[in-house]
Amino acid sequence: MLIERCTSVEQLGWLELRQALWTDCATEVQLLEMAEHVAIPQRFADFVAYSDWGKPVGLAEAAMRTDYVNGTTSTPVAFLEGIYVLPESRRQGVAASLVAAVCGWARECGCDELASDAALENPLSHAVHRALGFEETERVVFFRKRLAGG
Ligand SMILES: CC(C)(COP(=O)(O)OP(=O)(O)OC[C@H]1O[C@@H](n2cnc3c(N)ncnc32)[C@H](O)[C@@H]1OP(=O)(O)O)[C@@H](O)C(=O)NCCC(=O)NCCS
């Protein structure tokens, strides 16, 4: 397996893996976000995993967060924004390798912590996080109050 950091929106497999992970995000929005990521490498780091035959099989995206991140004690912290592995390539250590690459980037940036989140109703994600060395810190519920219209 080979892990490559994305340095161009043309990175083989990046768009397709993103589309598989964030299915409700339009392609033009995906491409805009990817362009932003490669333009600000000190803030974003995206990694694609390739099989021994060169097929893109997994994606991890991370960002440097300067605002407070729940459960952390330092700032800035690296944040795992998304991770996805093709169904046929799962349980082969692809996600573990991708997270290792993200950790390497975060350490190079001087971070002490890598944070992440998962939906309450996604126990698979919780199990994978724990297996990859994350510890659970907090459970939160987000709220909003619409301000338009009184
Ligand atoms: C979550 C996901 C990225 C894991 O990718 P993966 O390459 O299969 O993960 P790995 O092979 O590196 O697994 C690492 C460890 O996580 C745990 N794990 C992985 N898949 C698991 C599953 N389906 N059930 C329970 N534990 C699991 C295991 O402990 C595993 O180690 P092991 O295989 O030696 O037992 C992949 O299943 C996926 O893309 N799911 C859909 C997207 C998603 O839910 N993303 C958010 C998840 S954090």
Give the class (CATH, top level) of 2-131. alpha beta
CA of 5 to the centre of ligand 1 (A): 21
What pLDDT is recorded for position 149?
78
Q: Quick check: 45 and 59 in contact, CB under 8 A? A: no
Q: What is the mean pLDDT of residues 4-21?
A: 98
Mean pLDDT rounded to a whole number for the chain: 97
Q: Whose CA is nearest to atom 10 of ligand 1?
A: 93
pLDDT(150) > 70: no
| DSSP 8-class letter at 76 | S
CA of 127 to the centre of ligand 1 (A): 8
CA of 146 to the centre of ligand 1 (A): 37
Give the Å distances, CA to CA, from 143 to 67, 125, 140, 146. Answer: 18, 22, 10, 10
Say if residue 58 is exposed, middle or buried (CB neighbours under 10 Å; 0-12, 13-18, 19+). Answer: buried
